[in-house]
Chains A and B, each alone.
Chain A
Amino acid sequence: MWKFIKPRNQTLWFWQLSLLALLFAFWHVMTVPGLIPPMLFADERQAAFFFGEPLKIFVRIWAWFVRDADIYRHLGVTLTETLLAFAIGSIMGLAGGLWLALAPLASALLEPYIKAFNAMPRIILAPIFAVWFGLGMGSKVALGVTLVFFIVFFNVYQGVKEVSPVVLANARMLGASQRQLLRQVYLPSATSWVFSSLHTSVGLAFVGAVVGEYLGSSQGVGYLILQAEGSFDINTVMAGILVLTAFALVLDEGVGQIEKRLMKWQPRSGETEKL
């Protein structure tokens, strides 16, 4: 019997979905008032107040996407901020990392400042950005950029530093100029490091956008969550969190697809084909 239902590669998704359903079922049973006698709370309504009720959350999501169809504007704003922060931060990180890794003097000069900026809890910059760039999308993008930049920057810096000296010497012997070395050796070598950081940085771009909205804005999913929290509407807060999680997964999958296409030269375990 166990042999048939044991999770396998083909049936894994089914088990993963079942686990999700189980979690929601547990959540439902524990929170819906009057279903089971209260165990942790004095009042049977308190569990629902603190944790929300899955059914009401799904009704909320349904209303956002289908019945009222009013979330698309907010979602669009949040995703635009995320993608902008991600793109700007990555490109700046790539350029900065390449530059500092190849210019020892500048890197020695700037090292303490970069360390300081990286060590700083940069979320705290959000209010300053709100003053500088206003309550619109600009301040959220700026916050996301500061988060993404350092992740990509350090990875590129490391990637360039770890270029195999033999590969480098070989390219020089084959007649590569400085520019060709940059484009043909440093950049491809650094991209493998960048891609390992992109999964983290796309998440951080999302964090930057949502936190920025949460701290002050008039649109976006973070704003929706803030509004709901103001009226103790925990179901809407939870619905917002679920929607954000789903879209973060979608973004991560997108990065994974790009990575697969660009990094096909990299060996993966199990895929390696020897002759």
Chain B
Amino acid sequence: MTAALDLQGVACTFVSRHEPGQRYTAVQDVSLTVSAGEFVSVVGPTGCGKSTLLNVGAGLLEPSTGSVRVFGQTLLGINRRAGYMFQAESLMPWRTALGNVLAGLEFQGVPQAQSRARADDWLRRVGLGGFGDRYPHQMSGGMRKRVSLAQTLVLDPDILLMDEPFSALDIQTRQLMENELLALWAAKKKAVLFITHDLDEAIAMSDRVVVLSAGPGSHPIGEFVIDIPRPRDVAEVKITKRFIELHQAIWSVLRDEVLKGYQQQLQVP
């Protein structure tokens, strides 16, 4: 079976625009595959190039070396089969919640009546049925995240790329959204590449957790299959024995990298 997303030997080197001599290799020699219907999380210390990896998978960033394959085909330009949920605010502030959810369908030329029905449906599914006419500035951070989720999922992408999508939310909203995402994922098995710095979240949600080393030149240093049975509840699963074992196992690998990453950040002038 061909993988949904397959990164092989990917490296990304950034060159400073003002001083061409200064280079920074964010990720190096990264090989990562996500099968169709698989939920893979990537954890790592801050600044280790997790987002870089996601941008490569989305086709927003071309890797310096290495190949990216999407369902067996080499990726050129934007990854049309992927939906991307950004960490930062990504809604268009001049469009209402409904307008934002509609945007992707409009861009792709879906007939208006049909797209309207789909967008309305997705707004209801993320619990914002009555808020379609709100502008982003009129909504709370959690509501904006939910609009983003609807905006991404309404296009029914085969691959979901998520960059710490819930990191800005409070813990209660976060658990609700995590469970919601798991339910949606279970209903329509999509390939998910989920970036997070929160190990609990990674274990609770994923089939597989990949640990990245500290930058520069970070690369996968550990891979753990999460064999906790589904369906899971992200809050309840955290007190099971297997969860704690896995957490200890992954954390023992991750801890050294976190300390290393922290030391490096202190050294940077």
Contact = CB atoms under 8 A, between A and B. Distances in A.
Nearest to A172: B78
A275 B138 CA distance: 7
* Size category of the binding interface on chain B: 20 to 34
Contact of B83 (A167, A171, A173, A264): A173
Interface string A176-199: 110010001100110000000000
Interface residues of A, number: 25
B225 interface: no
Contacts of A189: 94
A175 B138 contact: no
A68 interface: no
Interface stretch (B101-109, B164-172, B209-217, B259-267): B101-109
Main secondary structure of the interface of B (DSSP, over half): loop
A174 B139 contact: no
Interface in A62-112: none
A21 B22 CA distance: 67
Given A169-B60, A175-B108, A275 B143 contact: yes
A170 B138 contact: no
Contacts of A173: 58, 60, 78-79, 82-84
Interface stretch (B85-93, B197-205, B231-239): B85-93
Interface stretch (A129-137, A148-156, A217-225, A265-273): A265-273
Interface of B: 58, 60, 78-80, 82-84, 86, 88-96, 103-104, 106-108, 131, 134-140, 143, 151, 155
18 contacts: A164-B89, A164-B90, A166-B86, A167-B93, A172-B60, A173-B58, A173-B79, A175-B78, A175-B80, A184-B92, A188-B92, A188-B94, A264-B135, A265-B95, A272-B137, A274-B138, A275-B131, A275-B140
